[in-house]
């Protein structure tokens, strides 16, 4: 499955730069869109999984995100968003629609967050997965906006400005949500100190 630490397939020196790929994809080039898909698939999946906590559901919603992106590429440039922010906004809206449809929260059962590396130390792999699951469960106690902000900032590595674009809020509001979310997590984890963002 998707590895927690990897940010998706990076564009190699042999591939066109992302703006060129986007322009080609907007023009209907499926190969260009496939390259963008490979670049962002893991990050979008990971964002959704941390919100729904269920692998099959996360996989299904991730597929829907890229289908919606492909079908709406012609309107992308008009929005004036970075492509990554545009994708994450689609993912966020898909998660919201999912919960609106089913109403009840998905059971919070532990899932496999990544395929273990055969060469990796078993204790290290298990420890990483338990830590990730603990964080995911703790996030369920935050407000929806706080969950989105912390997931995008510390799990997906977006800047404050990028998160603001995804959520349609001012950067100052994002910083306030981040601070309140970290304070809430500190209370959940029983610490007087804010959680270290590197732990995400």
The number of C-alpha atoms within 13 Å of 176 and in the hemisphere containing its C-beta is 5
* pLDDT confidence of residue 79: 58
Can you say whether the dihedral through the CA atoms of 94, 11, 126, 143 is positive or negative?
Answer: negative
Q: How far apart are CA 173 and CA 40, in angstroms?
A: 26
**11: Cα separation from own chain's centroid:** 19
Roughly what angle, to the nearest 10 degrees, separates helices 122-139 and 171-188? Answer: 110
122-200 maps to CATH 1.10.10.10: yes
* pLDDT confidence of residue 176: 94
Q: How far apart are CA 62 and CA 195, in angstroms?
A: 28
- In the numeric block, which tokens belong to residue 52? 């729904």
pLDDT in tens, the chain (200 residues): 343 334 444 444 355 578 889 889 988 899 999 999 999 999 999 999 988 888 999 999 999 999 999 999 888 875 567 899 999 999 999 998 998 887 554 444 443 334 444 444 544 444 445 566 788 888 888 898 999 999 999 888 889 999 999 999 999 999 999 999 999 888 888 754 545 554 45
* pLDDT confidence of residue 13: 39
In the chain, where are the structural domains located? 9-107, 122-200
* pLDDT confidence of residue 191: 53
- Residue by residue, DSSP assigns 91-142 as HHHHHHHHHHHH-SPPP------SPPPTTS-HHHHHHHHHHHHHHHHHHTTS
Residue 109 makes CB contacts below 8 A (sequence gap 6+) with 53, 54
Q: Which fold has domain 9-107?
A: Rna Polymerase Sigma Factor; Chain: A (1.10.1740)
* pLDDT confidence of residue 104: 52
* pLDDT confidence of residue 3: 38
* pLDDT confidence of residue 175: 94
């Amino acid at each position: 499955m998707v590895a927690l630490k990897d940010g998706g397939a990076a564009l190699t020196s042999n591939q066109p730069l992302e703006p060129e790929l986007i322009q080609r994809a907007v023009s209907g080039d499926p190969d260009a869109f496939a390259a963008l898909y490979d670049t962002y698939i893991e990050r979008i999946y990971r964002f959704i999984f941390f919100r729904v906590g269920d692998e099959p559901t996360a996989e299904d919603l991730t597929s829907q995100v890229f289908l919606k992106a492909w079908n709406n590429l012609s309107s992308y440039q008009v929005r004036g968003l970075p492509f990554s922010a545009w994708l994450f906004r689609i993912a966020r809206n898909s998660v919201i629609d999912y919960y609106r449809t089913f109403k009840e929260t998905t059971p919070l059962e532990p899932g496999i967050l990544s395929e273990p590396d055969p060469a990796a130390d078993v204790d290290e792999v298990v420890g990483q997965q338990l830590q990730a699951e603990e964080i995911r469960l703790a996030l369920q106690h935050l407000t929806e906006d706080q969950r989105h902000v912390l997931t995008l900032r510390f799990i997906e590595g977006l800047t404050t400005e990028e998160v603001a674009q995804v959520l349609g809020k001012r950067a100052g509001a994002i910083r306030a949500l981040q601070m309140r979310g970290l304070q809430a997590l500190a209370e959940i984890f029983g610490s007087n100190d804010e959680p270290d963002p590197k732990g995400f």
